[in-house]
Structure formats: structure tokens, C-alpha cells
């Protein structure tokens, strides 16, 4: 059974940092790209960042480039999203997802498997 489990969300003040984790199981980690997405209330889901560990390739949305860093640990089948200099507009539920076919996509329909999400709230 494929599973993606996010953790690390919480409440933080503007300018603060959080690190999200996405622990995966049920598929070959090297065969998939892992993406982070977020969805704020009343807004469409937005692609934030993606990584394919086997290619050491990383991608970022313009809104987070320079503030967020994606990384992976193949030994733990886990992907991380380090978020720094957080802003109130970063407030959202953050999801991780897995895509077998696409490497550099931040489009949600390119991803087959999804986690349940973790809430990130940034206060001003």
C-alpha cells in the first residue's frame, strides 16, 4: 500500500522557520518524484517544490524560491521541506505527493499519490 505521511506543520510567527517531512512507503523511492503542494482556504492548490532523488533535481515555485529548500533522504524514503522567512501568505495545508512520470512538474494532476496534509499557520 502506497503511503505518504506529512509532519512538521504548526504555528509560527512571520520570519520564523519550519521543516516539513514527507515519509513515504509502498513504492520504490528512486522511481518517483516527490512534490510539495499547498492549499489556502478559498484558493486553488499550488505547487511549491519538487525533487527526484535519483537525479538530484529540484524545482521551486517563484513564490518560495530562496526561502524554501527541498531535500531527500533515500535511506529513509523521506523528503523534507525546510521553510525559512515564513510569511502570513504561506499559511496553508501542505501536502506531499508522488509522481512516477514527471520530474519537474508543479502541477497537481501530474501526481498519482497524495498524503493527508499538514497545517502551516504563519501569524503576522
Q: How confident is the model at residue 103 (pLDDT cuts 50, 70, 90)?
A: confident
Per-residue pLDDT averaged across 63-74, rounded?
96
Q: Is 41 exposed, middle or buried (0-12, 13-18, 19+ CB in 10 A)?
A: exposed
- Tens of pLDDT, residues 6-15: 999 999 999 9
Of 37, 32, 20, 22, the residue nearest 106 (C-alpha): 37
CB atoms within 10 A of CB 5: 14
Of 123, 113, 116, the residue nearest 89 (C-alpha): 123
Residues 30, 74: contact at Cβ < 8 Å? Answer: yes
DSSP letter for 105, please.
Answer: -
Distance from C-alpha of 86 to C-alpha of 122, rounded to nearest angstrom: 7
User: What's the confidence (pLDDT) of residue 102?
Assistant: 85
18 pLDDT more than 90: yes
- Tens of pLDDT, residues 34-63: 999 999 999 999 999 999 988 888 999 999
Amino acid at each position: 500500500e502506497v503511503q505518504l505521511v506529512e509532519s512538521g506543520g504548526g504555528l509560527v510567527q512571520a520570519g520564523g522557520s519550519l521543516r516539513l517531512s514527507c515519509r513515504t512507503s509502498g513504492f520504490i523511492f528512486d522511481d518517483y518524484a516527490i512534490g510539495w503542494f499547498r492549499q489556502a482556504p478559498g484558493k486553488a492548490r499550488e505547487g511549491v517544490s519538487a525533487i527526484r532523488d535519483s537525479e538530484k533535481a529540484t524545482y521551486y515555485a517563484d513564490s518560495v524560491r530562496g526561502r524554501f529548500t527541498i531535500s531527500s533522504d533515500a535511506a529513509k524514503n523521506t523528503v523534507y521541506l525546510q521553510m525559512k522567512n515564513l510569511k502570513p501568505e504561506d499559511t496553508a495545508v501542505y501536502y506531499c505527493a508522488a509522481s512516477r512520470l514527471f520530474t519537474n512538474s508543479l502541477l497537481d494532476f501530474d501526481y498519482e499519490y497524495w498524503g493527508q496534509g499538514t497545517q502551516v499557520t504563519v501569524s503576522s
